[in-house]
């Protein structure tokens, strides 16, 4: 797989590549922050506002039970959301840019 | 509920047979893999032949240790909801791996994560630094696993501790030495299937005692032990402690060398991405299972019986298995627990061996020039040495309270490995001196502060009060590593490194030139 230097320079400076990198970083950052906020929010709510998760929603069942299990599901679904975005949007643009670099 | 008589501590034929069948099958796989483990690419990365789904299962297998299976089920049995809080901490690191690490790692690296950290920088100092962070994480984790293995086998069968440690050590050396990454991957996959299958069966059989209604299970627990078990208890009291542990677990996951190494076994970044999705799903499912198992043990076995076998509650899952499925099921779950230990220590040993051979021998001592067969030979010798070291350490730390070493391993991973890795991928201005400073700061502070913490200074050295108040150092060591890496990089600008950053992007984001 040989790539000549001018091609490299062209692609690195192209608008489409710069946009791709920006979008990728934006998606990664936002999803990371969401996960951080949700998890540390959960932890801090226990430290400072214990009554929230101890609140009874049945005779014995507490709010904490669905929230705790829900958090586990949420973490997984977040990875699923990223995977779907990457498979649909990101990969398509990557393929186009790779073709430009490698096949001309 | 019933008065429960257990056969725990007596020889369990079912368990021994199942365990030896597992060892026999996995050794047969190792023999098959040995013929395909001649080149470096095969030894370290199974020749990139692992699919996204398989790697996802293997990652889950690598991550779900016997300590977490037995320990978390035990914590839930004795403390209830607090066990869930603890297990959530272990899961939430995986989305971070997905968003920040998985794809860039696969694109930029070859066999180890040090490949990525040292990508644009001077090889020798950065490799040495990364290796230190890597090996420290691995060794502390290994000690905890080996000691756990020995005491588990002793508690279960009265088998001598020393014999158990030596047995585990020898089998693990066999897997890695002869079968490399290919064998260890399949050991992980088989173990993951057994563990998830066994735990699922355990939960189904448990829930069948409650009309297949989990709510009934929780209500019975609250009736028996007060509704405190359904709420957060004493686990999160000090917010700083909780934050620090959370940081260690979350970011440490993204810095564990044996986990990161697995990303190089798949063909490309897209498969790396898929494997994290699969792994996160299985691991999340696993923690939900351990939550039900813990409550099942609480109600059907009772907290008193559980803690009578082990104060930490580590026998909860096994006792529950015996309660709902008799001696045979107990034997099966016990065999699965041993298999789990074997699989995890194999992954750790392979990762350590690759650090010694690929990072230190090839890139530091031989300055990047080494022939294939030479490197494979060094890797195998490293495996043997590391395996023997693991056995020796397991024997040395017999009877010691080594539970804190897992938290320490995660703290080192979060402080020494993670910051340098992330800064190397994302920041143009990261320099060689910055990388080394970051790693040294992270590792040094993590170890130093934990020695001064209640976990070691008070519980082990028996002083009256701790110099460092938190149980886990990550709250300080992780940000310090980022900060020092940033400041030192700014003070030691390296144009050769920053110039390469733009071109590197072609490889990071498009995968062009990835190996």
pLDDT in tens, A77-91: 999 999 999 999 999
Task: Report the sign of the C-alpha dihedral through residues B102, B108, B111, B116, in that order.
Answer: negative
A102: which chain B residues are within 8 Å (Cβ-Cβ)? 512
Number of domains in chain B: 1
Burial-class residue A37 by CB neighbours within 10 Å (0-12, 13-18, 19+): exposed
- B144 within a domain of the structure (yes/no): yes
B456 contact partners, CB below 8 Å, separation of at least 6: B404, B450
Residues 43-72 of A with CB under 8 A from B: 43-44, 46-48, 50, 53-54, 56, 58-62, 64-65, 68-69, 71-72
CA-based nearest residue in chain A for residue B230: A62
- CB neighbourhood size of B222 (10 A): 23
Distances (CA, A) of B369 to B111, B362, B451: 16, 6, 40
**Cβ neighbours of A71 in B, within 8 Å:** 88, 92
HSE of A17, CA atoms in CB hemisphere, 13 A = 23
What confidence tens digit (pLDDT) does each residue in B292-335 have?
A: 999 999 999 999 999 988 888 889 999 999 999 998 999 899 98
Each residue of A8-20: pLDDT tens digit? 888 888 999 999 9
Nearest Cα neighbor of B316 from B284, B345, B289 is: B289
The whole-angstrom separation of Cα B392 and Cα B467 is: 31
CB contact under 8 A, B219 and A56: no
Give B 107-136 residues with CB within 8 A of chain A. Answer: none
Write out the residue range of the structural domain in which residue B24 sits. 13-406
Q: In this structure, is residue B72 part of a structural domain?
A: yes
Q: What CATH number corresponds to the domain at position B336? A: 1.20.1730.10
Instruction: Report the half-sphere exposure of A26 (CA within 13 A, side-chain side).
Output: 8
Contact B242 A101 (CB under 8 A): no
Q: Give the percent of chain B with pLDDT over 90.
A: 78
> B478 contacts in A (CB within 8 Å)?
none
Q: Determine the residue of chain B that is closest to A50 in CA distance.
A: B232
pLDDT digits 0-9 by tens, B255-265: 999 999 999 99
Token pair belonging to B427: 């920041």
Task: Tell me how far the alpha carbon of residue B422 is from its chain's centroid.
Answer: 20
CB–CB of B246 and A72 under 8 A?
no
* Mean pLDDT score, B1-28: 80
Backbone angles phi, psi at B362, to 5 degrees: -70, -50
Give dist(CA B336, CA B276) in Å, integer: 24
- pLDDT band of residue B254 (cuts 50, 70, 90) is very high
One DSSP character per residue, B8-48 reads TTS--HHHHHHHHHHHHHHHHHHHHHHTT--SHHHHHHGGG
| Domain contains B473 | no
Cα B248 to Cα B259: distance, rounded to the nearest angstrom: 15
**Contact at CB, A32 and B96, closer than 8 angstroms:** yes
ipTM of this predicted complex?
A: 0.94
pLDDT the model gives residue B125: 95
Q: Which of B72, B90, B92 to mutate to test the interface with A (most CBs of A within 10 A)?
A: B92
At A2 the pLDDT is: 53
User: Hey, is the C-beta of B291 within 8 angstroms of any chain A C-beta?
Assistant: yes
- B294 occurs within a structural domain: yes
**B81-91 and A64-85 are packed helices; what angle lies between their axes, rounded to 10 degrees?**
10
**3-state secondary structure (DSSP) of residue B437:** helix
How close B311 gets to chain A, by Cα (Å)? 25
Q: Answer whether B509 sits within 8 Å of A94, measured CB to CB.
A: yes
Is the CA virtual torsion B74, B77, B82, B83 positive or negative?
positive
pLDDT band at B373 (very low <50, low <70, confident <90, very high): confident
In a domain, B435, yes or no: no
Residue B421 lies in a domain: no
Where does the pLDDT of residue A100 fall: very low under 50, low under 70, confident under 90, or very high at 90 and above?
A: confident
Q: What is the DSSP string of B450-492?
A: HHTSIIIIITTT--SS-SS--S-THHHHHHHHHHHHHHHHHHT
Contact B279, B94 (CB under 8 A): yes
**Mean pLDDT, rounded, of chain B:** 92
Query: Tens digit of pLDDT for each residue in B44-96?
Result: 999 999 999 999 999 999 999 988 899 999 999 999 999 999 999 999 999 99
Distance CA B150, CA B148 (A): 6
Residues near B348 by beta carbon (within 8 Å), at least 6 away in sequence = B138, B141, B142, B145, B258, B390
């Amino acid at each position: 797989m040989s790539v000549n230097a001018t091609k490299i320079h062209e692609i690195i400076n192209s608008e489409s590549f710069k946009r791709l990198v920006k979008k990728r970083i934006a998606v990664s950052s936002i999803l990371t922050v969401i996960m951080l906020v949700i998890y540390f929010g959960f932890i801090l709510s226990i430290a400072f506002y214990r009554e929230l998760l101890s609140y009874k929603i049945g005779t014995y069942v507490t709010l904490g039970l669905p929230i705790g299990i829900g958090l586990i599901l949420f973490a997984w679904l977040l990875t699923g959301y990223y995977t779907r975005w990457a498979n649909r949007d990101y990969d398509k643009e990557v393929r186009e840019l790779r073709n430009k670099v490698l096949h001309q | 509920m019933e008065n429960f008589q257990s056969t725990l501590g007596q020889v369990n034929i079912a368990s021994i047979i199942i365990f030896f069948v597992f060892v026999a099958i996995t050794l047969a796989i190792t023999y098959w893999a040995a013929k395909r483990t001649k080149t470096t690419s095969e030894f370290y990365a199974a020749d990139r032949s692992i699919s996204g789904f398989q790697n996802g299962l293997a990652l889950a297998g690598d991550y779900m240790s016997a300590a977490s299976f037995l320990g978390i089920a035990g914590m839930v049995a004795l403390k209830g909801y607090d066990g869930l809080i603890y297990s959530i901490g272990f899961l939430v690191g995986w989305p971070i791996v997905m968003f920040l690490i998985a794809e860039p790692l696969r694109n930029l690296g070859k066999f180890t994560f040090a490949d990525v950290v040292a990508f644009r920088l001077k090889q020798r100092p950065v490799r040495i630094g990364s290796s230190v962070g890597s090996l420290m994480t691995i060794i502390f984790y290994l000690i905890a696993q080996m000691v756990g293995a020995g005491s588990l086998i002793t508690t279960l069968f009265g088998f001598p501790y020393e014999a158990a440690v030596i047995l585990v050590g020898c089998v693990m050396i066999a897997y890695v030495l002869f079968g490399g990454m290919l064998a260890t991957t399949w050991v992980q996959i088989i173990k993951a299937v057994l563990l998830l299958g066994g735990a699922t069966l355990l939960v189904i059989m448990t829930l069948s005692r409650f009309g297949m209604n989990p709510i009934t299970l929780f209500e019975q627990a609250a009736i028996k032990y007060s509704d405190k078990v359904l709420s957060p208890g004493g686990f999160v009291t000090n917010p700083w402690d909780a934050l620090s542990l959370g940081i260690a677990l979350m970011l440490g996951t993204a810095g564990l060398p044996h986990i990161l190494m697995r990303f190089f076994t798949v063909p490309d970044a897209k498969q790396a991405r898929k494997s994290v999705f699969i792994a996160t799903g299985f691991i999340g499912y696993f923690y939900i299972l351990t939550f039900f198992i813990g409550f099942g043990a609480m109600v059907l076995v009772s907290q008193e019986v559980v803690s009578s076998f082990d104060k930490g509650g580590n026998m909860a899952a096994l006792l529950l298995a015996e309660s709902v499925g008799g001696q045979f099921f107990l034997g099966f779950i016990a065999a699965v627990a041993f298999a789990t230990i074997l699989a995890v220590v194999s992954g750790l040993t392979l990762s350590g061996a690759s650090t010694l051979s690929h990072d230190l021998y090839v890139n530091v001592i031989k300055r990047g020039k080494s022939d294939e067969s030479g490197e494979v030979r060094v890797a195998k010798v490293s495996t043997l040495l590391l395996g023997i070291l693991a056995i020796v350490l397991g024997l040395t730390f017999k009877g010691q309270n080594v539970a804190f070493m897992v938290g320490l391993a995660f703290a080192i991973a979060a402080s020494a490995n993670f910051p340098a890795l992330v800064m190397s991928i994302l920041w143009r201005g990261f320099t060689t001196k910055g990388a080394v400073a970051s790693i040294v700061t992270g590792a040094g502070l993590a170890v130093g502060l934990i020695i001064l913490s209640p976990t070691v200074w008070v519980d082990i050295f028996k002083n009256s009060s701790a110099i460092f108040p938190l149980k886990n150092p990550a709250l300080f060591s992780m940000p310090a590593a980022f900060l020092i890496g940033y400041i030192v990089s700014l003070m030691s600008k390296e144009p050769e490194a920053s110039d390469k950053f733009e071109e590197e992007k072609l490889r990071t984001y498009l995968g062009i030139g990835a190996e």
